[in-house]
Amino acid sequence: MSFGSRLTAARQAYGPLCVGIDPHASLLEEWGVGDSFEGLERFAEACVEAFAGHVGVVKPQSAFFERFGSRGVAVLEWLLQQFRHTGTLTVLDVKRGDIDSTATAYAQAYLDDDAPMAADAVTVSPFLGFGSLEPFFAEAERNDAGVFVLALTSNKEGPEFQRATVADGRTVAGSVLAQLAALNAGASPLGSYGAVVGATIGEAGENLAINGPLLVPGLGAQGGTVEDLRRLFGGVWDQIVPSSSRGILRAGPDPVALRASAQQVNAQLVSS
């Protein structure tokens, strides 16, 4: 099954929520496990127990694992492997972007089904030009994986590039969204190539109907509300994957409490 098909099935089975797996130093201390490699291991184990087979999507942020060096990367590899075949999809948040053979190597590292760090999807940056992402799309096609391209992010610096206009008068974000829509044309029930659109951007001002998933970070602790999601994404509600990390993870370290926190947010999204 394509990533778009698997994502549709996961949303139907568990709800639209994506849990961000972000082991911030402050969070590890708050959990009482310590900002250490041992604390990272305990964090990862709790997240797998809490969320595998209970939420549709998780999104590990690679940087928070990488800061512990090779041992931290090994924990990330373990975590990704533990979620495989559980019904919970993984979106590895690495925001990579490069050209030619380097982009191909990144794509193989994260999207090749046999790679140690294989995920169901990956986040990428189009700053070097949308065409530079072709190796990611090609690798995703070979492995029934997904790609999420940064389009309209919530950080205050984002509009400097994303709202700038290109030669045909469209914004950079609008151009990215239009090219994703072209890649997803004809896909059913949903294309596999998505966009990252923040929950706190205020107004989209662009056509978000790309026939592909919209990864929406910023729900919860970053200020995004379910009402914001309805206002921004009402016309494409069945395509969004709202992501919350700290708002859910603060319920830890007890896996039962973590799972209940995620299920509560999912219930709010489904009933809204």
> pLDDT tens for residues 148-188?
999 999 999 999 999 999 999 999 999 999 999 999 999 99
Residue 272 has pLDDT above 90, yes or no: no
- Please state, as a whole number, how many other Cβ atoms lie within 10 Å of the Cβ of residue 69: 10
pTM assigned to the model? 0.97
Of the given ranges (163-167, 222-226, 244-248, 267-271), which has the lowest mean pLDDT? 222-226
Task: Say which residue, 58 or 223, is predicted with more confidence.
Answer: 58
State residue 23's pLDDT score: 98
Q: Two tokens at 84?
A: 């495989």
DSSP β-bridge partners for residue 53: none
Count of domains in the chain? 1
Residue 221 has pLDDT above 80, yes or no: no
Single-letter amino acid code for the residue at 164:
A
pLDDT band at 238 (very low <50, low <70, confident <90, very high): very high
202 DSSP 8-state letter: S
Q: Which CATH number goes with the domain that contains 246? A: 3.20.20.70
* Dist. CA 15–CA 89, nearest whole Å: 12
Catalytic residue among 6, 11, 59, 95: 95
Range of the domain at 32: 3-271
**First-to-last C-alpha distance (Å) of the chain:** 29
95 included as an active-site residue:
yes
- Please state, as a whole number, how many other Cβ atoms lie within 10 Å of the Cβ of residue 48: 21
State residue 222's pLDDT score: 77
Q: Two tokens at 188?
A: 């059913």
